[in-house]
Structure 1
């Protein structure tokens, strides 16, 4: 398991205890650029690394500011930081977003990227050492859990988008229960890790019920795929983390701010009920009541959740949702078998046969069914499961052995699912280069 980040925090803590200053970065950001995204800065702690930055206009250096480090799974630093900048401006957070982080790549220098951004930030700004935050998507979301546990308590919260904690069994046994930092998870309704996020939420809620702690959890589900949450969702999450810092006595209480953030969550839940999405509304009010407990009065939220849950339409809706969640592991195993069988057979696979084995046409029909949104979203998630395998993981494996023909066959299946995407075009170009 990777631990450079933990070693960095041990050294950082030693500096503080000795009464010294944090590591000094050689690059100081010109305050003339406050309030705008600085698209690309070279880390002078290590010039091989780069990041985007956002410094709020209110920052003066006279009071320590919270620091958020964004770890995009493809190193799209500017695209990612743009989602966080509006809320960071309102709340007074400094944000750095790395160009060097990657998901699902064991060789990715994610730990080093975090350490470099930390060193630069502490050298250039006055940072609140009790209020460091990490945000990741997919594989980098899992990293935020690992890094936060290794931070010696300096990480106050994480934003874990499109994934939950690391899947490694040993890791989960070691860090069981609710973590000692606040967690804001999220998933798109059509994101292929939706079931993982929902299951993790239930497990963590159960752990919190049995072991009260200062930390808290929220989960935001939004209409979308496997992606960073939309800016309004991120704004609510950052606002909630700010209010959680008040509840944990990490920042002064600002009741007006707490009320406004809570009101935005309440407006979201009210809109779901107004749109006759009663099951979603019941879940949202229940989520608000759980996430805000200890930080705001949740009497109305809990009452509204109970009222909606008692509606005759909600119980069957929840039963269907839970049934679909339970079927997911079996379906995912069903994806693995034909792909595994393919590896054992010589020759190029038949496109029609493989498409049938993966149930693609039926899933596409279900995903387009406007009369059953639960099954439609579930089918779209399963199509995403297949697409991830046939557009990336399986072609990569074949190309590693210079088997361009099989890689191209799988990319043809991927095109049946999503059309000609940039990923498919890129992988096809690689396959043709191998063939010729």
Structure 2
């Protein structure tokens, strides 16, 4: 990877993330020359930028000194001010919570509500459903003829349909749920940034949508994750509806775009490395390692933030109480100290100690579901595909938080 002179402050610029060469060139230079810089970017609170795999791992494994509250992502001061204005000064008791923003005992208790249901063994109960959805979406490609925008036409809707089925959302509401999730994640990309869009309004509409589903699962529990969350109790009492919704919300958003970007970016990597596509088609047993390489290579979640609770030394730098630390997952996943040939895409990469799902107590709850979805789709796709090539220029989304390939025109032929 050729390094470049892009400054560390560019990590706050959404446009940087639409250019993989510039992004990874900058991060490679930082890992080599200043792996834990203090960044003062215009329009943002100052923060420390962790670029090395070992540093990020150490911080995530130290949840008492580095907490998720009060922020999980690096937002501009203008964005924070706008959000406060839209939300008003609601007291803590009236605010929705979700598990990613919790720490300590609260996080442990809330995470435990659904954790066992997202483990591999429990997910086997919905494997056939996921396989059927994968088959349906490969069928959509067939119906489109010999070309499509794989990102928008297929990869965006496939994981959303899986999440919808888990949360009890009817298939006919797919377009509505897509609008909710896209507005809530509020891409910084000008192509998708609707000046009229109001994330908090979308959240309110989504809350109203899920209320009857929550009530239904409490009245008539089923053997599904939606019922588990709706009927969860803490200290003998049901969770407040807003907290049940917070759980539904994080599953819907965290499990949608991330898996979509992994699938689209992974397919692009196969197209750019045809020998790896050939290797995977010749040996389907490589599918598990290929999926991990998809996830490492794309790193859909670009960062999370932590707030320091006490003065400490990290990588020889003095960190003060209340300092913000940004954890760069794309950087960790190309760290030369951890990965052999980190800028080479290999479907048989093993070991693959990527941090795309994080680590420690906040290790991604949906990692096994994401891998199951990717496996189901790729198995069906690779079995049926006969020819595959690019049909135009791929384009990446401009986003500092969650992002990947937003346009992937392809030409194909099925058997």
> Where on the TM-score scale, by shorter chain, does this alignment land: which range?
under 0.3
TM-score by length of 1: 0.22
Which one has the largest radius of gyration? 1
Kindly indicate whether structure 1 or structure 2 has the higher relative contact order, using CA contacts under 8 Å at least 6 residues apart: 2
TM-score by length of 2: 0.23
